[in-house]
A = this chain, B = another copy of it.
Amino acid sequence: MRELLRVASTGAPVDLAAIDPRSTPGLPPGAGHGSHRKTWARGQVELIGAGLGRQQEMLFATAKVAAGPAAPASAPVAAGGHLGGDRPGRVLVVLQAMDCGGKDGAVKRVAGAMNPLGLHIRSFGPPTGEELRHDFLWRIRRALPPPGFVGVFNRSHYEDVLVARVDRLVPETTWRARYDEINAFERELVDAGVALVKVMLHISPAEQGERLAERLTDPTKHWKYDPSDLEARARWADYQAAYAEALGRCGTGDAPWFVIPADRKWYRDWALAHLLSETFAALHLGYPAADFDVERELRRLRDGGSPQPSERSEVNSR
């Protein structure tokens, strides 16, 4: 699946128009035809999802044992964006798409199959005042997953070469310089043991139109709609050109870009689950060996008998 969805790392803009958003690359003949494929794919996502959960647990377990018994719980608040090359692995999924591209839905279905305790999901909107006072990668670094976690970026640093370019938020020299800055940053992540999975969910303008109409006609979806969505839609080709160049400039050998045709939600979820599964497989994870003497601990547990009956010493000391 990785080979089928990966875009060439040539530096030249990716030809997105050549990728049909309704296509289903890699879908096996066994999936059947017509509406059967959807049922098949949904079932497969459940199956693959169970495997993702096991892989995620191994990743978490490995990081916990590597950190040692005295280490604090891997609380995200303690992450602070520090990276150490000798620390165990982590996974980071970077999700980008046009409005209505299905990022939220994909997270819900694919990340939702994993244990929420080991997920580190961050959404990036327009930068706050404090974020604007820093380099564009400042808020990204602060949001990196700690070792052992599966991170998901719902939008990312790529917005700084997408909306920043199309809406002319910064001069062209500024956003052009960011391609190299992004490549250097991602090189650093890869060297620190982060398995990067960069995914563009690729939809057609027609599909976006249908999904926007649905958000406008279903009152339980009004909250997902923003009038500015139509301004962005009007600049569809500008955005596609910005994506094409970003994917071409920042798709590297160790941090490739994948484009998932996303007009069909069931294919989108199946393909993303598959990509993640392949990413985990390449990490060759397993449950870590005990860093204590198992037999000795079993004896201690048995000999310990029942715990102390009362809090006598504590009461006496008051």
Spell out A's residues near B (CB within 8 Å). Answer: 61-62, 64-65, 69-78, 104, 107-108, 111-112, 114-117, 119, 121-128, 131, 139, 142-143, 152, 154-155, 172, 205, 209, 212-213, 216-217, 219-220, 222-228, 230, 233-238, 240-241, 287-290, 292, 294, 297-298, 300-301, 304, 306-311, 314, 318
- A127 shortest CB reach to chain B, Å: 7
24 A-B residue pairs with Cβ-Cβ distance under 8 Å, sorted by A, are: A69-B226, A72-B126, A72-B127, A73-B155, A76-B76, A77-B122, A78-B131, A104-B117, A107-B115, A107-B116, A116-B121, A205-B307, A212-B301, A223-B287, A227-B300, A230-B301, A230-B304, A234-B307, A235-B308, A237-B307, A237-B309, A237-B311, A241-B311, A241-B314
Is the CB–CB distance between B288 and A222 below 8 Å? yes
Question: Which listed residue (B119, B213, B237, B318) contacts A310, Cβ 8 A?
Answer: B237
Number of this chain's copies in the assembly equals: 2
Closest to A70 in B: B126
Question: Which listed residue (B65, B124, B240, B301) contacts A73, Cβ 8 A?
Answer: B124
Question: Which listed residue (B107, B155, B298) contacts A216, Cβ 8 A?
Answer: B298
Closest to A60 in B: B223
Within the assembled complex, what's the spacing in Å between the Cα atoms of A72 and B62?
35
Is the CB–CB distance between A77 and B294 below 8 Å? no
User: Given known contacts A61-B223, A287-B219, is B297 in contact with A234 (CB within 8 Å)?
Assistant: no
Chain B residues in 8 Å Cβ range of A292: 225-227
- A210 shortest CB reach to chain B, Å: 10
User: Given known contacts A116-B119, A222-B287, A301-B230, is B139 in contact with A77 (CB within 8 Å)?
Assistant: yes
Is the CB–CB distance between B237 and A308 below 8 Å? yes
Is the CB–CB distance between A74 and B123 below 8 Å? yes
Chain B residues in 8 Å Cβ range of A65: 223
Is the CB–CB distance between B125 and A73 below 8 Å? yes
Chain B residues in 8 Å Cβ range of A121: 116-117, 119
Chain B residues in 8 Å Cβ range of A152: 116
Chain B residues in 8 Å Cβ range of A236: 307-308
Chain B residues in 8 Å Cβ range of A128: 72, 78
- A77 shortest CB reach to chain B, Å: 5
Within the assembled complex, what's the spacing in Å between the Cα atoms of A119 and B227?
27
Within the assembled complex, what's the spacing in Å between the Cα atoms of A310 and B240?
9
Within the assembled complex, what's the spacing in Å between the Cα atoms of A224 and B292?
12
